[in-house]
Amino acid sequence: MKKIYFGAIASIFSVGVTTAQVIERPYSFDEIKVEAAQPAPSATYTATSKALGTTFWTEDFTGGAGSWVIDNGSQAGGAFGWSVDAVSDGWYFNGINSTSGGNFAELSNGDASQGTQSIGETFTLTSAAIDIQTLAGTDDITLSFEETGARFYDLQEVQVSTDGTVFTTVRDNQGYTRLTSTGGSAYADPETVSVNIAPYIVGATTLYIRFSWTSEFSSSASANAWVTYGWYIDDVALTTNADNDIVAESSFWGTAGLNYSQIPASQQTAIDFTTNARNAGINTQTEVQLNVDITGPTTYNASSPAGVSIAAVDYDSLIVAPFTPNGVGTYNITWGLSQNEVDDIPSNNDNESITFEVTDYVYARDKGTQEAVFSNGGDGFVLGSYYDIFTDDVMYSVDVKIASTAVVGSTVTGRVYSLDPNATTLASALVLEDQSFEYTLTSSDIGQIINLDLATNGNAGFPVFAGETYFVAVGSDGDGGTTSGATIGLTNFPIEQTCFMYNAPDDTWYLAPGTPMVRMNLDPASNNVGLEEQSLLFGAEVYPNPATDNASVRYIMGAASDVTIEVKDITGKVVASFNEGTKAEGSHVLNVNTAAFAEGVYYVTIESGKSLVTKKLVKK
């Protein structure tokens, strides 16, 4: 099954931060667009207690910065960049409750509630050279420290070097949720982080440690890309590694690169399980295996092949024979690593437990419980995820979680796209195949999962075929930013490059900020579209909106019919008219040159037979 993956392009921001009498979290998804881009590198790490072994070097900043080198660029520290003292300079947190207390290292970048962030900065805090061979006699060591703070759009990196010149990132903050006005959480206060740095310093005699901060979107000129809550560091330590410690890293479960929280009975297929087993200890670990135990309508117990030995620092990818669920119900999975040796730190052997459900008809990528909210601030959008099909079936509707912040009267449509395997961009890859009629949210929809019936094929539904990948989405034309519009439930941590969001004002696709709660529904009873409605014109949209020199009008025909399109100003005067002739069933696009239009509001009317759809267009 072909999925389309896309590289980085320039990031665009339009976020605003509220000024108030009390400290406010920065707003997020409704005001900032996250551009489709390769994610920052994220090394595996564990936020657990320090490994067993001997601690041979510590830093609690009792003497201030001491021999640490602070590089704050043009900034002087304090409210901007790194500072080391017992005073919190940040706008959001008030220091760190570290074990040692007293002085701590703090990263700040202005006051987000006042909009005073400095742009284009990289702030670093770097240790002096540490002679690890004299102090420990080994390069098999773990770095630990206590931290607190939170993630917004900043990139917090922990780096090491063996020469003081070339630094390697061994850990970053990209695994944390964003703390925004719509959800997320701060780090624990304090949170103890341990990173086995042995794989990065093999053969080293000297070590340098660096804490580096910049924006995730370092090329952005928007001050709002440079918001940080602050990052607090204390009680840094180096410890020799435990004798025996196998660690589960980079684990994946699913099929063809995707996993699902709900799987329709018709789409049950083999599920893979794989984990990288890293030896974070000193001794070679023998008979290392990945073990998977599943309970539910079908039980399953399996292990990866025996006979695997892993030397210190090395890792091996362990794979368990695929499991195919059989029967409707809930499946619970526990899985983790084992070895012959008695593990000194067994807490990092296990992967996070998994629960998924085989349903009669619902296909879901999200985790089931809303963890965040997507809003495009009243601007038009499309938001959705990839779905793979393993057996021919029929899709009848799109199920969408409407967040509690959605505005009654906002409109949404459910959509399904096929993917052009020859395309080179997401915009060109997506082929709109079917969608629902435009639906207006009522008070009873707020906070609920609603059902949006696909309309092109009426009660016949939309056929989906084995071996194909589809993009299933919810869309809205918005209201030009007057309100927050339709807001959609999300769960965190999407599989990269498989969940996307289209922003109508700049006519651009971005990575979605979470996994949309947008699902396929294969239940014939979910579709209430009558056969008589198949001839209607429906599903029109205008983009980008606002427009400058050009706008596109996309519309879907339920059956072949003549189409005319008119653009009128607010007085009702026709400023452009198009006779599209007879258009076949399916999706069509008309490009309109708006360069000569005066700035203001226009209305685009698409007419076919007795069907009439009107959309608002704003010209800038």
Transcribe 403-435 into DSSP letters: -TTPPTT-EEEEEEEEE-TT-SSHHHHEEEEEE
Q: Same structural domain for residues 390 and 340?
A: no
178 and 89, same domain (yes or no)? yes
* CA atoms of 40 and 38, how far apart (whole Å): 7
- Report which of residues 210 and 423 the model is more confident about: 210
Domain end marker among 360, 377, 407: 360
* Token pair for 581: 């002739």
CATH number (domain holding residue 354): 2.60.40.10
pLDDT by residue (tens digit) across 476-524? 988 877 888 999 999 988 887 899 999 888 888 888 888 999 999 999 8
Output the six-digit token pair for 290. 């990945």
Q: Which residues of 402-428 are buried (b: 16+ CB within 10 A; e: fewer)?
A: bbebbbeebbbbbbbbbbeeeeeebee
pLDDT in tens, 229-274: 999 999 999 999 999 999 999 899 999 999 999 999 999 999 999 9
Q: Each residue of 563-579: pLDDT tens digit?
A: 999 999 888 889 999 99
pLDDT of residue 33: 37
Range of lowest pLDDT (182-191, 349-358, 360-369, 604-613): 604-613
Domain that holds residue 147: 55-240
Residues 338 and 370 grouped into a single domain: no
CATH code of the domain containing 134: 2.60.120.200
Higher pLDDT, 615 or 52: 615
Q: Is residue 33 part of a domain?
A: no
Shared domain for 355 and 368, answered yes or no, is no
C-alpha–C-alpha distance, residues 401 and 215, integer Å:
31
Q: Is the pLDDT of residue 526 over 80?
A: no
Model confidence at 1, pLDDT cuts 50, 70, 90, reads: low
272 DSSP β-pair partners: 254
Q: Which of 308, 330, 360 is the last residue of a domain?
A: 360
Tokens of 228: 């940080």
20 domain residue, yes or no: no
- Check whether residue 348 and residue 426 sit in a common domain: no
Q: What percent of the chain has pLDDT over 70?
A: 88
- pLDDT score at 10: 28
Q: Which pLDDT band, with edges at 50, 70 and 90, does 51 fall under?
A: very low
Same domain, 336 and 369: no
Confidence of residue 20 (pLDDT cuts 50, 70, 90): very low
Give the tens place of pLDDT for each residue, 141-160: 999 999 999 999 899 999 99
Q: Flag whether pLDDT at 23 surpasses 50.
A: no
Q: Residue 504's domain is classified under what CATH number?
A: 2.60.120
Q: Pick the range with the lowest mean pLDDT from 170-179, 434-443, 496-505, 539-548.
A: 539-548
**The total number of structural domains that make up the chain:** 4
210/85 same-domain check: yes
- Are 351 and 313 within one domain? yes
Q: Coil, strand or helix: which one is 504? A: helix
Residues 6+ apart with CB under 8 A from 11: 33, 34, 35, 37, 217, 219, 220, 225
Both ends of the chain: CA-CA distance in Å? 42
Is 525 in a helix, a strand, or coil?
A: helix
- Mean pLDDT of the region 443-455: 91
Residues 391 and 520 in one domain: yes
* Cα–Cα distance measured from residue 233 to residue 58, given in angstroms and rounded to the nearest whole number: 13
Residues pairing with 355 in the sheet: 332
pLDDT of 44 higher than 80: no
Residues 388 and 511 in one domain: yes
- Give residue 564's pLDDT: 92
As a whole number of angstroms, the distance between CA 514 and CA 375 comes to: 12
Q: What is the structure's pLDDT at 255?
A: 94
